[in-house]
Amino acid sequence: MPEALDVTCPCCEALLKVDPETGAVVWADKKKAPAKDFDDLVNRVRSHKGVLDEKFARSVEHTRHASEILEKKFEEARKRAEADPTSKPPHPFDNE
């Protein structure tokens, strides 16, 4: 099997590794645009901080609701087990 070819993109100057047999891009190393000045860099970091804070808040909210849903499922399963104590719980591989 021939080795992947290194090609530089003329538009974005990214380094692309191309499989010679299929012509597919196997890997792409994209160049990051350098910060123009310190203020631009600070603004970029602050904007990323806001995005990360939003993602974290959504994750916390999702986790809070997930635990409530799991608690409701557990309570429903417990009620069914108390109602019919002679039945076996479903086996997880029975649905396949």
- What are the pLDDT digits (tens) for 66-89? 878 888 888 888 888 888 877 777
- What are the pLDDT digits (tens) for 39-68? 888 888 888 998 899 999 999 988 888 878
Separation of CA 73 from chain center: 26
- What are the pLDDT digits (tens) for 3-26? 889 999 888 889 999 988 888 888
Q: Is the dihedral of CA 13, 14, 19, 22 positive or negative?
A: negative
Instruction: Specify the pTM.
Output: 0.35
Q: Which one-letter amino acid corresponds to residue 67?
A: S
- Show me where the domains of the chain are located: 1-32, 34-84
Neighbours of 44 (CB within 10 A): 11
CB 20 within 8 A of CB 35: no
Identify the band that residue 95 occupies on the pLDDT scale cut at 50, 70 and 90.
Answer: low
Question: Residue ranges of the alpha helices (H) in the chain?
Answer: 38-83
* Predicted pLDDT of residue 96: 56
* Predicted pLDDT of residue 54: 92
